[in-house]
């Protein structure tokens, strides 16, 4: 069975501080990992996916198959980063298994 | 390009009734997935359709069903509603039904069962 775990429900940091949102997964095959973000009053949208190896809005995430992790990182948090972040895994087709999400609050 | 559209946005139903929710995917997208979002369970996968065929189904009772039409629009139906079915139902569309594709989400239908 596939599972995604985000251990923190809430992460509160000050502007300019580094951010790391944790994500661990369980999957027997070769997964595709994603981070989705939901800003206040907006729909859920893709932030980044591991296959692209890109940095979006200063965020990066590295897939560590040994530790089965896909942590999301940003060196300097901005107030506009405040949002709900979901780690997701795709084991097949375009279906997603989501973690329960981490609320990131960035204070001035 | 118009995004994923879900109707209605809000719905109030009584226990025992049935409900049909609609999803219009982004033009050209052939894969449509449905998710249930609740505070306790988070986002849970319901089912996925591609070219009118259900390709994948989550762990939900048979009261939850869906279908996809030839124009890729999709509906989901919940029969014999229970209080626990109160949730935000999200639809997502993808260009193709492959593992690494991006899913585009609608704003959801908020269902309240009383």
- pLDDT at residue number A2: 87
| B55 to A93: CB separation less than 8 angstroms, yes or no | yes
B99/A49 touch (CB, cutoff 8 Å), yes or no? no
How does pLDDT run along chain B (114 residues), one tens digit per residue? 689 999 999 999 999 999 999 999 999 999 999 999 999 899 999 999 999 999 989 999 999 999 999 999 999 999 999 999 999 999 999 987 666 678 999 999 999 999
Contacts of A95 in chain B (CB under 8 A): 33, 45, 48, 55-56, 58
Is B105 within 8 Å of A43 when comparing Cβ atoms?
yes
**Residue entry with tokens 């506009």:** A80
Q: How confident is the model at residue A28 (pLDDT cuts 50, 70, 90)?
A: confident
Supply the DSSP string of B33-74, one letter for each residue: EEEEEETTTEEEEEEEEETTEEEEE-S--TTEEEEE-TTS-E
* Interchain proximity B31–A43, CB inside 8 Å: no
C-alpha span between B78 and B47 (Å, rounded): 13
**Chain A nearest C-alpha distance from B109 (Å):** 12
Token pair for A84: 């709900």
Residue A50 pLDDT: 84
B48: distance to nearest CA of chain A, Å? 7
Contacts of B58 (CB under 8 A, 6+ apart): A95, B44, B45, B46, B47
Q: What is the distance between the alpha carbons of residues B10 and A33, in angstroms, rounded to a whole number?
A: 31
Residue of chain A minimizing CA distance to B108? A43
CA dist B22 and A62 (Å) reads 36
CA–CA dist A29, A50 (Å, integer) = 15
Compute, in degrees rounded to 10, the torsion defined by CA atoms B110, A57, A88, B97. Answer: 90
Smallest CA-to-CA distance from B64 within B18, B110, B31 is with B18
* Dist. CA B4–CA B94, nearest whole Å: 10
pLDDT in tens, B54-71: 998 999 999 999 999 999
Contact B13, B113 (CB under 8 A): yes
Binary contact (B31, A94; C-beta < 8 A): yes
- Give the pLDDT of residue B99: 60
């Amino acid at each position: 069975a596939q599972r995604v775990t985000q251990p923190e429900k809430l992460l509160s940091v000050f502007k300019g501080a580094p951010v790391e949102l944790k994500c661990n997964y369980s999957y027997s095959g070769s997964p595709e990992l994603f981070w989705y973000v939901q800003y206040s009053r907006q729909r859920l949208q893709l932030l980044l996916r591991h296959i692209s190896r890109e940095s979006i809005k200063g965020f990066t995430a590295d897939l560590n198959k040994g530790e089965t992790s896909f942590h999301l990182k940003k060196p300097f948090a901005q107030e506009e980063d405040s949002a709900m972040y979901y780690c997701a895994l795709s084991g097949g087709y375009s279906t997603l298994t989501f973690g329960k999400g981490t609320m990131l609050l960035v204070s001035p | 390009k118009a995004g994923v559209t879900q109707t209605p946005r809000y719905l109030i139903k009584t226990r025992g009734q049935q409900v049909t929710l609609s999803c219009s995917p982004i033009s050209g997208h052939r894969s449509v997935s449905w998710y249930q979002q609740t505070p306790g369970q988070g986002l849970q996968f319901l089912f996925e359709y591609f070219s009118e065929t259900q390709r994948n189904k989550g762990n939900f009772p048979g009261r939850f069903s869906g279908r996809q039409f030839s124009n890729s629009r999709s509906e989901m139906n919940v029969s014999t509603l229970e209080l626990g079915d109160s949730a935000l139902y999200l639809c997502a569309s993808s260009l193709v039904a492959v593992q690494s594709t991006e899913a585009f989400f609608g704003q959801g239908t908020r269902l309240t069962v009383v």
